[in-house]
Amino acid sequence: MLLSLVGAVVVLAVVLAGVLWPDGSEGSGGAGESPTGAGGGSPAAAAARGAAAARALDKLPGVHLSAVYAPGDGEPATRAEMTVTAEGKATGTLNAPVTGRAAMAWSDDQLYLKGDNDFWAQQGPQYGHDLTSSGHWIAPEKRDGYYMLDSFGVNAGSLTPKSFASVVREVTSDPSVEQEDAGSSQGRRATSYTTQGRTVVLTSDAPYTVVAVGVNPVDAGPVETAAWHSSASTLTLTAGHRAVPVDDGDSYYNPYLIAVPKPATDKETAAADAAADKAAAAAVPPSSTAKEASSQGPNFTTRMTSPYLCTSKPCSYSITVTNEGDEPAEAILHVSFPGIPDRAHPLGTLAPNESKEVSGTRPNAAAGTGKTVRHTDYAWVYSPAFYGPDPKVAERLHARNLKPDDVFVATPLKPAVAMLLDLMTQGTPDDDTEANNNAVEALRSANDRGQLPLLAAIAESGRLSNTKDLAENVLKANKADNPGDVRVLEQVAHLMKTDPNAEVIYDGPYEINGKKFKTDYMVISSKGGEEIKKAFQVKTVTSRRNLPHHVDKGGEQLNGEGGGKEPESAPPGFERVLQINIEPGFADLFLKNKADLEKFLFSTRKYATVRENMCKQRKDGKGLRIQQLVIVNKAGTHVWADLSKLCEKDR
């Protein structure tokens, strides 16, 4: 869930809104004060409600699922809409947080995908070869110990009605289950039941139905991971998909799935079954070697056929350009000789395996010297397929000795890489090797983490104010053992795509009257001729224990009170916004809607310290440290444009 600036406020961009917790639902009364919540009752009553809801699920021929899967380690969460049959076949769609979409199917323990370029580019380098398979059904390769798809590491065939029914029974029948008011869903009160890291949300009154199920698929019983392993008794997990003890320090490492099941009819499940069979029949294996990947799309090679030693005046040269790829593309050959300006030779469009020769003459560099003169001749090919539509980008990169191939990406991503290499090195001398190396290192890191489409959205907008900081910010986000920096990158990319007026300062300085200010990101936008200025401090929270500290720290940083050599601070005239991202491991607040969040944070003793830190005054006495609060969880993006009423003492 991400923020969009429209008008003078940040508005909703919801993943599950209208499915889990519609905005405007009733408040939760005394939620959080009672261990049994609105549903009340004993463990035996909880088990009885769960058994009733499970029986209803067991009878279904299939379910429609609105789901969110968080891989763990702060990686981006993938949204899924799918239909799963009782027999374990599934079809639907997968969506990345900002950009990237794929049709999916599951049949006979195999995942099938038909994704766009941005989707494939976010799946990590082991799937990067599949970019030119965009629009075709692919059967991702199973590798021993690897997930078939990192961003949705769930066995979709295990998300059957009976699997969810089993989880519901196990959770609600646990004698240690914690019951809590879960607000309302579609006009009905709901109660959450949590035990051992699993959460089940049921309607509070009969007929008892399942509202949502949240589990770590690594240890969720009938709900399984999509890892492939060599024996049935051994589960090998890749980094980023490991089960670790869920405590205050490391809960964000765990993968997590939250799913909202709705009944599917016999007709709908039959259609899903047929669609899964059709996808399986059409799917082809992915490319799996560097050689195959390089041949996808156009791939130009140059061969100098001139004599190695020239004794004539002038010297002749001959260069052959061949498209060794499998798609046609435009090509312009550039040649550079000592003392002679760059020469461009348009070759038109070269078909696969087509070659064209360029020949001519040039002065003999050794003429009149009586010596043998060694020199270097340069030949390189500009193609929009590699560098994008602006030849100036290619010329600047060539002057720096940079090229898209330095980042090891498939052909469809090369124009984005070229644009980003150019953007990250703007304003530095061509021979600034540190700037060049940092740009390459940052983009290799981004490619490993599936972030190139996010960075491309930022670059394409042309509205990032501090481009010189981009490479450093990407490296910092990916080296830090903290999901918060990655969430900021996602947010900035989202703003660039959704607000055409937004100028963004991404973790960089903003200068007023010679004084520099800095927050996680700042936005300058407009609506109806009115300028909007907001400074965001972003905190990503994995547990209740961490929440008070993050709120206090964010308030300090927005006001220049955080300490350090150059304390962060919002500039004068900018609204000070604290954004709290709730990660899946924080079950207390992970699913709650705005009304329930408000009651929990501002009206219950359990969160008294959080409220105290939110409502602190500025040291100069000029109002609250935090002017606007934003909380992002799986229920949506919740905005409090004015905290003054919530912070009244008699509340």
Phi-psi region of 624 (alpha: psi -120 to 50; beta: other; left: phi over 0): beta
Q: Is the confidence at residue 620, as pLDDT, over 70?
A: yes
Cα–Cα distance, 44 to 259 (Å, whole number): 25
Q: Which of 491, 363, 450 is nearest to 73 (CA)?
A: 450
**Of 229-233, 305-309, 382-386, 454-458, where does mean pLDDT reach its minimum?**
229-233
Q: pLDDT: is 303 or 239 the higher one?
A: 303
**Of 8-17, 49-58, 465-474, 599-608, where does mean pLDDT reach its minimum?**
8-17
Q: Is the confidence at residue 297, as pLDDT, over 70?
A: yes
β-strand partners of 102? 94, 115
Residue type at position 592: K
Q: Is the confidence at residue 10, as pLDDT, over 50?
A: no
**Of 209-223, 230-244, 493-507, where does mean pLDDT reach its minimum?**
230-244
> Per the structure block, which two tokens stand in for 253?
């490492």
How does residue 589 score in pLDDT terms, banded at 50, 70 and 90?
A: confident
- Close Cβ partners of 398 (under 8 Å, ≥ 6 residues apart): 334, 380
Q: Is the confidence at residue 570, as pLDDT, over 80?
A: yes
Cα–Cα distance, 432 to 434 (Å, whole number): 6
Q: pLDDT: is 76 or 552 the higher one?
A: 552
The confidence score (pLDDT) of residue 131 equals 61
Residue type at position 636: G
Phi-psi region of 567 (alpha: psi -120 to 50; beta: other; left: phi over 0): beta
* Helix pair 470-479, 414-425: axis angle to 10 deg: 110
Q: Is the confidence at residue 634, as pLDDT, over 90?
A: no
Place of tokens 């903290």: 482
The confidence score (pLDDT) of residue 593 equals 83
Residue type at position 55: R
